[in-house]
Structure 1
Amino acid sequence: MDKSSSSILGDVVLLGGGHAQIAVLKMFAMKPIAGIRLTLVTNDMRTPYSGMLPGFVEGVWDDDDLHIDLATLAQFAGARIIHASCTGIDADHKRLLFDHRPTLRFDVLSVNIGGQPALDAIDGAMEHAIPVKPIAQFQHRLNDVLSADKKHKLSVIGGGAAGCELALALSKRWLTETGKRPELRLFSRSNRLMPYMAARAGKLIEADLNAIGAHIHKGAEVTSIHANGLSCRDGQTYDFDACFLVSAVKPPAWLASSTIERDENGFIRVGQNLQSLSHPYIFASGDIASLHPYSRPKAGVFAVRAGRILAQNLQRYIKQQSLRPWNPQSRYLALIGTADGAAIAAHGSFGFKAHYLWRLKVWIDQRFMGKYKSLAMPPTPKTDTLDAINSDEGKHSDPAFAAMRCLGCGAKTGHETLQNAMREAVSIAIGMGADPDLMPDDSLAEDAASLPSPAPNMRILQSVDMLSEIVSDPFKLGQIASVHAFSDIYAMLGKPLYSLAIINLNEAKISIQTDQLTHILAGTLLAHSKAGVKLVGGHTSEGGSLSVGFSVTGTRPEHGAYTPAPKDAVIILSKPIGTGLVMAGHMQLKARGNWITSTIDTMCMSNHQATKIAMEHGIEWVTDITGFGLARHVLNLANRAGATGCYLYPDAIISLPGAQFMADNGIVSSLAGQNQAAVRLDHNGCDQHRTPLLFDPQTSGGLAMLAKPEQADHILAALVATGHHPAIVGRITHSKSGITLSAKDAG
């Protein structure tokens, strides 16, 4: 057997989700290279298309129209996604640096992070101007201006195409929102508008600005911006209510410490093939790149057109083939919207305006976005279900017959790999604030551990849990797997103290495997330290899919028999539910990036505080919500407490963003059917649209506790104060069996 065919032999890391990078993701999805693992590192889970920004400002497009979801695109490409802000590139040692997570190795790096607004060019711009980039921040600040009263004087600094287009869009938006146009001023350092385009195009846009009553200040260099006004070099001052800045961009400050060759302005210098002139395994495109020997404006049109060449050259570099040159045209067609249903076309010395040009721009923009938003997983090959020996009974609930089996709750590595990874992970975790006294030795060489005897009158608790690769970020996976494993101990009102790790790694070359294990262990140790748990040993293996688990030992005080639960006890749930639904949707390219982020944040949240609050209020009946889903877990809890069943309030249950959308669209986890089949459910006339939430298997779910009704408000307040999103989701009953759905205020 050729193991190399299934091994990870190289890491291609994409830093940033800019216009060129999304083309790379799409091409690698269409033409993957065996042995290559793709990773996208981004501080935003969505990337905006700058060409549609003026239309968004005008009100033509909404927020979703403007953005491409990177989480969906990465899933489509089979790429890992690391949601974090990079703070440096160690080009010589092939590492990306971060402030709050381990470094990330790469074999090939592609940088497409755009630039930052050069706010230091004008005094006061940082404090008082609204820069157009980054676009996400611009959107928030624009919304703030729109929602405020008496914002009628607007200034736009920047007489290029972007500034003029923005000015026209702002005026149209104000007309739509308020019924009248704002008092608008446009400032241009040049003596003509859009100086890099045809003179005819500049005259056309100037006529449009004059037509809406804008005050145009040509040859006016703004030197300072104040709280409600700006000053020009000629001594003139002008008042404003809001000032928008369309400035040149500069590279992030951290790039200056890299050894990558840069131009005089600090941008990464690349050749015609988009390859770094100093480090051949690094590529760059978009605003962050300085093309040698050509010089081109920092315009999105070039990044879009560079995408195809970048994708091809990354693949050709990996295959040791000659790279293709990119010759960006010196003359290109620009379509500038004029916020009146028309657009100006500029090409070389040619410029004219027409309504059909706006329709053409809309078609081009929608066609571009459609390539990255209309994604679908390829059809799963039909599997022979061996009907002769497998009846239809059970096929709908047995995951073995599912087209796509969900991850989550549901060969020994080398000593040097383990030792190096552990040594680095310990250093990282301590650097991030982990307790040195809770750190393990350099390796997890021992499969067993000798633990001290518990104190007198203490009961030993043990649990074991394992997760598959529910998230592609190994650092987060280590955190989630730890928190998930500790949860059973917390549900027994105990304190976890020690753990043994069980980690199975993908087959990969040693450097890749070591890096992956380092990230897993760093996340593990950080979560362990926060919980006061020491990792004392474990077992690592390789082959097949990645999985991380822990056998956890804890203690709790001995006590007598449990106090019977009150007959009218309510059920309090500490966390939202829906992790299975959202992650199942992610696997099918239906989940938005911000839904994934919220779900991951919830899974990383420990149940420690919820347990502490339960104990402070004398709560004895507690369970955690994991793979069996809410309904099965709370029913088991009610039965243990002596009740025959429980009422659940579907409309009171707090769900994660996107979870109900998945349920409404028929997307469920493959374990949901088994969970529902194990519970007697009476809908009791309630709408069934919330039912999938009741049986959704949870990874690192919250705690459910039985409390006296008079305690509920105090417990809810304590949970909210510690960052939880709790709710009363039901009550136990001694008169009915199984689960009965009910409105919250029912008797």
Structure 2
Amino acid sequence: MIGAPLPLTRDIVLIGGGHTHALVLRMWGMSPLAGARLTLIDPSPKATYSGMLPGFVAGHYGRDDLDIDLVRLARFAGARLILGAVDGIDLVAREVHVPGRPPIGFDIASLDIGITSAMPDLPGFAEHGIPAKPLGRFAARWEAFRDEDGPARAVVIGAGVAGAELAMAMAYSLRGRDRNGGVTLLDHDRALAGTGAGARARLLAELSRQGVTLLENAKISLVGAEGVQLADGRTIEADLVTGAAGARPADWLSQSGLDLDHGFVTVDSRLRSSDPEVFAVGDCAHMVRNPRPKAGVYAVRQAPVLLHNLRAAVTGGQMRAYQPQKDYLKLISLGQKSALAERLGLTLAGTWMWRWKDHIDTKFMRRFRELPVMAAPVLPTERTLGMADALGDKPMCGGCGAKVGRATLRGALGPEPAPAREDITPLPGDDAALLTTGGVRQVMTSDHLRTFWGDWAVMTRVAAIHALGDIWAMGATPQVATATLILPRQSNRLQARMLAEIMTTAREVMGQAGAAIVGGHTSLGDELTVGFTLTGICRDRVVTLGGARAGDVVLLTKPIGSGVLMAAEMQGQADGDWIAAALEQMAQPQGAASRILVDHATAMTDVTGFGLAGHLMNICEASGASARLDLDAVPLMEGALDLATAGLRSSLFADNRASLPEMEHTPRADLLFDPQTAGGLLASVPEAEADTLLGALSAAGYPAVRIGVMREGPPRVVLT
């Protein structure tokens, strides 16, 4: 077929979002490789840039200035992003292990997981200290500490260049906020031993000028709640203790089967480990032929070589050797907007060095913030009328944003005919059918989602919870399910890997809900689609759309906004932290909420493709009542209002909005028409029971709120 996507045949898995991998992703997005499926695994949606950390601690940069948004970067590169911390690699099975999800298969893997400055052998540090690396956790802790009230005392363990930079930055920041209770820099040996004589003298003088107390040859016996105890009996009182001493590799590498040097992965000149299909770069790697210190400059310059060699590994091409430079320019922050530069024994310092360092750092970060906008496909010169309008001006959303609109569905399907069978009970407007089999009442439903997120395990989890929503909304207990999958074209090996991840996750989610997967159907297409057909066993009562009464309180168990968030993510305009939080909320099952509400709800539905307003209108129409909605009480996912205010909308928004054209047009009101994927339960309950139910829902972990009240009158939704 002309224009059909080319099949995928090789899996490349990048483990860790370090500087080298970040640059590889950017370059890959500029020139993708046909047939390669690229995956990035990292525990956080953002990677923190180490070069700007001292400037952030000093107050010269904001928290966001440090972050490389891996969600945006992965979308640009066409890579799937798996949010999780790797804890092992199986070189025989060719799998990467992440707790809480199925293994990830690979043909080629690359490690860029950095190092840690945690000190597990130092008593009390794990409980009372915070390592400077990984940087993201430290940056968050420092920000909270810095903004507290009153004098602050800090201790930095490790008087190398990194420790000295941190200590000077802390002293400068706390003094500027009138919180300077003292910053102490400790080292078990000689401070700044790795620097030249000239640079060391300048740095020692600057530490003194900034008011940092330096203790050399200080042996630490314990880190406690009150500070640091030294072996000689002295106690250094501290409100914050951090460690910048040395560099430790990830513990799981010792069980990887790869050759290591003091825990670091040994690599050859082509950046390959002892397993030729596993590469390693950045601080977690040790270059056997050309050992170099742990410095970001090497990680950055490894990126073009790694990109070339990854592509060569899956295309049969020739690999390149990486030749690290013998020395490099060291730019060391001095707390205030001043820096020291050292190279080949020459030392210079001053504000102009800071400006140079700031220029280098901000230029590096702009490479990830100002990603090139790839040109949209050009329409054929000769085409049918209306093609541009049907295509729209933005990508078609996935998830529930890809549904057919409410008005279109009603117009095409028309009035529902009366069932021809006596064992089917008509339920106008409900998504699930009510059946009677052998005296047992069952509900039956079907739902599927077009892919909206690259991690198939997360995608499957959300799709399963989304499909279960119709069962839970009627107060039924899930029974059996069949899976319907469309997989993108790929080799048999890649199909098997994808299917294993999907079905392992599906069985887990359905099993936890009390249902069993008994079969299904799989076919190939242009993109991934995951769907389920489900049955559920009814309890004593079936909750439908048609029982709401005037005076009932309207409750909602989840915030809304997933549609606009995922639409923005597809366009590279969403903050990665917002997306990670939204995925977590979408993956929250509603089974326990259903069990709490089932004996009390007069009407109930799940909020999905038609948006909160559309699904509340369904209750109004089925119940012959109206609803008064408190717009300010409706909970929103983080970032949803920012995106709506900026004018972003899901591709299904316009159809949903047309169903209630009289409602006010504001960004917050527009979110009532935002299509939700795996949304919360929307229930009307007697007013006398509302607070008790909200308490029970909160205790069960649901952010449920009261958002309105049912009224007498013709079916409509009115805002207050």
TM-score, length-scaled by structure 2: 0.90
Offset from partner CA, 1:549-587 (integer Å, 9 cap, x none): 111122325769988532222321111111111100100
Equivalent residue number for residue 725 of structure 1:
703
Equivalent residue number for residue 578 of structure 1:
561
| Deviation (angstroms), 1:96 | 0.7
Alpha-carbon distance in 2 for matches of 1:558, 1:245: 60
Alpha-carbon distance in 2 for matches of 1:120, 1:613: 44
| Deviation (angstroms), 1:348 | 1.6
Aligned to 2:39, the other structure's residue is in SS state strand
Choose 162-171 or 605-614, whichever is displaced more.
605-614
Contact 1:5 1:34 in 2 (8 A): no
Would the alpha carbon gap of residues 231 and 620 (structure 1) be closer, same or farther in structure 2, given more than 3 Å must change?
closer
Equivalent residue number for residue 212 of structure 1:
210
Aligned to 2:615, the other structure's residue is in SS state helix
Alpha-carbon distance in 1 for matches of 2:119, 2:543: 67
Amino acid at match of 2:265: I
Aligned to 1:7, the other structure's residue is in SS state coil
- 5 Å-filtered alignment, 1:627-642, equals 627-642=609-624
Aligned to 2:38, the other structure's residue is in SS state strand
| Deviation (angstroms), 1:455 | 5.2
Amino acid at match of 1:57: V
Contact 1:629 1:698 in 2 (8 A): yes
Alpha-carbon distance in 2 for matches of 1:376, 1:732: 50
What runs of 5+ residues in structure 2 fail to find an aligned partner? Answer: 403-434
Alpha-carbon distance in 2 for matches of 1:152, 1:672: 50
Alpha-carbon distance in 2 for matches of 1:588, 1:165: 38
Equivalent residue number for residue 49 of structure 1:
49
Q: Does 1:23 align with 2:23?
A: yes
Equivalent residue number for residue 651 of structure 1:
632
Equivalent residue number for residue 280 of structure 2:
284
| Deviation (angstroms), 1:241 | 4.0
Alpha-carbon distance in 2 for matches of 1:606, 1:197: 55
Would the alpha carbon gap of residues 167 and 564 (structure 1) be closer, same or farther in structure 2, given more than 3 Å must change?
closer
Alpha-carbon distance in 2 for matches of 1:12, 1:323: 16
Contact 1:81 1:472 in 2 (8 A): yes
| Deviation (angstroms), 1:266 | 1.4
Offset from partner CA, 1:394-415 (integer Å, 9 cap, x none): x4xx5x43431111123xxxxx
Equivalent residue number for residue 421 of structure 1:
none
Offset from partner CA, 1:185-225 (integer Å, 9 cap, x none): 2223454x433233211111111111123322334454554
Q: Does 1:613 align with 2:596?
A: yes
Contact 1:343 1:357 in 2 (8 A): yes
Would the alpha carbon gap of residues 356 and 500 (structure 1) be closer, same or farther in structure 2, given more than 3 Å must change?
same
Alpha-carbon distance in 1 for matches of 2:584, 2:263: 35
Choose 307-316 or 654-663, whichever is displaced more.
307-316
Equivalent position to 1:274, from 271, 276, 282: 271
Offset from partner CA, 1:108-140 (integer Å, 9 cap, x none): 101000122251454443334332112222234
Contact 1:197 1:349 in 2 (8 A): no
Equivalent residue number for residue 374 of structure 2:
378
| Deviation (angstroms), 1:303 | 1.6
Alpha-carbon distance in 2 for matches of 1:35, 1:712: 55
Q: Does 1:325 align with 2:321?
A: yes
Contact 1:181 1:212 in 2 (8 A): no
Alpha-carbon distance in 1 for matches of 2:532, 2:560: 23
CA RMSD of aligned residues (A): 2.5
Contact 1:145 1:151 in 2 (8 A): no
| Deviation (angstroms), 1:459 | 2.3
Alpha-carbon distance in 1 for matches of 2:547, 2:529: 39
Q: Does 1:678 align with 2:654?
A: no
Equivalent residue number for residue 392 of structure 2:
401
Offset from partner CA, 1:673-711 (integer Å, 9 cap, x none): 01111224333xxx7121221111111111111122222
| Deviation (angstroms), 1:77 | 0.6
Offset from partner CA, 1:330-357 (integer Å, 9 cap, x none): 2111111112221111112011111111
Alpha-carbon distance in 2 for matches of 1:407, 1:381: 19
Alpha-carbon distance in 1 for matches of 2:515, 2:543: 28
Would the alpha carbon gap of residues 384 and 671 (structure 1) be closer, same or farther in structure 2, given more than 3 Å must change?
farther
Offset from partner CA, 1:639-685 (integer Å, 9 cap, x none): 11111x322222111011111111111111111101111224333xx
Amino acid at match of 2:203: I
Equivalent residue number for residue 470 of structure 1:
452
- 5 Å-filtered alignment, 1:437-516, equals 454=437, 456=439, 458-516=440-498
Equivalent residue number for residue 244 of structure 2:
246
Offset from partner CA, 1:224-274 (integer Å, 9 cap, x none): 5444454556776544443322111222222111211111x1111001221
Equivalent position to 1:662, from 627, 637, 643: 643
Alpha-carbon distance in 1 for matches of 2:320, 2:387: 56
Alpha-carbon distance in 2 for matches of 1:119, 1:716: 44
| Deviation (angstroms), 1:720 | 1.2
Aligned to 1:341, the other structure's residue is in SS state strand
Amino acid at match of 1:646: A
Aligned to 1:366, the other structure's residue is in SS state helix
Choose 710-719 or 529-538, whichever is displaced more.
710-719
Would the alpha carbon gap of residues 132 and 560 (structure 1) be closer, same or farther in structure 2, given more than 3 Å must change?
closer
Offset from partner CA, 1:463-510 (integer Å, 9 cap, x none): 111111122111122211111111112222222211111111111111
Paired residues, number: 686
Contact 1:489 1:496 in 2 (8 A): yes
Alpha-carbon distance in 2 for matches of 1:89, 1:266: 15
Choose 401-410 or 5-14, whichever is displaced more.
401-410
Aligned to 1:711, the other structure's residue is in SS state helix
Would the alpha carbon gap of residues 302 and 222 (structure 1) be closer, same or farther in structure 2, given more than 3 Å must change?
farther
Contact 1:200 1:352 in 2 (8 A): no
Would the alpha carbon gap of residues 560 and 301 (structure 1) be closer, same or farther in structure 2, given more than 3 Å must change?
closer
Equivalent position to 1:706, from 684, 691, 695: 684
Equivalent residue number for residue 415 of structure 1:
none
Aligned to 1:203, the other structure's residue is in SS state helix
Would the alpha carbon gap of residues 369 and 586 (structure 1) be closer, same or farther in structure 2, given more than 3 Å must change?
same
Equivalent position to 2:193, from 192, 195, 213: 195
Alpha-carbon distance in 1 for matches of 2:511, 2:163: 51
- 5 Å-filtered alignment, 1:64-143, equals 64-143=64-143
Would the alpha carbon gap of residues 597 and 559 (structure 1) be closer, same or farther in structure 2, given more than 3 Å must change?
closer
Equivalent residue number for residue 623 of structure 1:
605
Alpha-carbon distance in 2 for matches of 1:240, 1:81: 39
| Deviation (angstroms), 1:172 | 0.8
Choose 489-498 or 31-40, whichever is displaced more.
489-498
Amino acid at match of 1:579: S
Would the alpha carbon gap of residues 391 and 203 (structure 1) be closer, same or farther in structure 2, given more than 3 Å must change?
closer
Alpha-carbon distance in 1 for matches of 2:646, 2:149: 40
| Deviation (angstroms), 1:182 | 3.3
**What percentage of aligned pairs have identical amino acids?**
34
Would the alpha carbon gap of residues 676 and 382 (structure 1) be closer, same or farther in structure 2, given more than 3 Å must change?
farther
Would the alpha carbon gap of residues 70 and 564 (structure 1) be closer, same or farther in structure 2, given more than 3 Å must change?
closer
Contact 2:624 2:713 in 1 (8 A): no
Amino acid at match of 1:733: R
Offset from partner CA, 1:5-48 (integer Å, 9 cap, x none): 61110000000001111011111111111000100111111100
Would the alpha carbon gap of residues 3 and 291 (structure 1) be closer, same or farther in structure 2, given more than 3 Å must change?
farther
Aligned to 2:87, the other structure's residue is in SS state strand
Aligned to 2:538, the other structure's residue is in SS state strand
Choose 110-119 or 31-40, whichever is displaced more.
110-119
Equivalent residue number for residue 433 of structure 1:
none
Aligned to 1:681, the other structure's residue is in SS state coil
Aligned to 2:598, the other structure's residue is in SS state helix
Choose 209-218 or 233-242, whichever is displaced more.
233-242
Equivalent residue number for residue 33 of structure 1:
33
- 5 Å-filtered alignment, 1:428-439, equals none
Aligned to 1:567, the other structure's residue is in SS state coil
Q: Does 1:688 align with 2:671?
A: no
Would the alpha carbon gap of residues 715 and 241 (structure 1) be closer, same or farther in structure 2, given more than 3 Å must change?
closer
Contact 1:681 1:739 in 2 (8 A): no
Equivalent residue number for residue 347 of structure 2:
351
Alpha-carbon distance in 2 for matches of 1:471, 1:371: 24
Choose 727-736 or 111-120, whichever is displaced more.
727-736
Would the alpha carbon gap of residues 639 and 241 (structure 1) be closer, same or farther in structure 2, given more than 3 Å must change?
closer
| Deviation (angstroms), 1:90 | 1.0
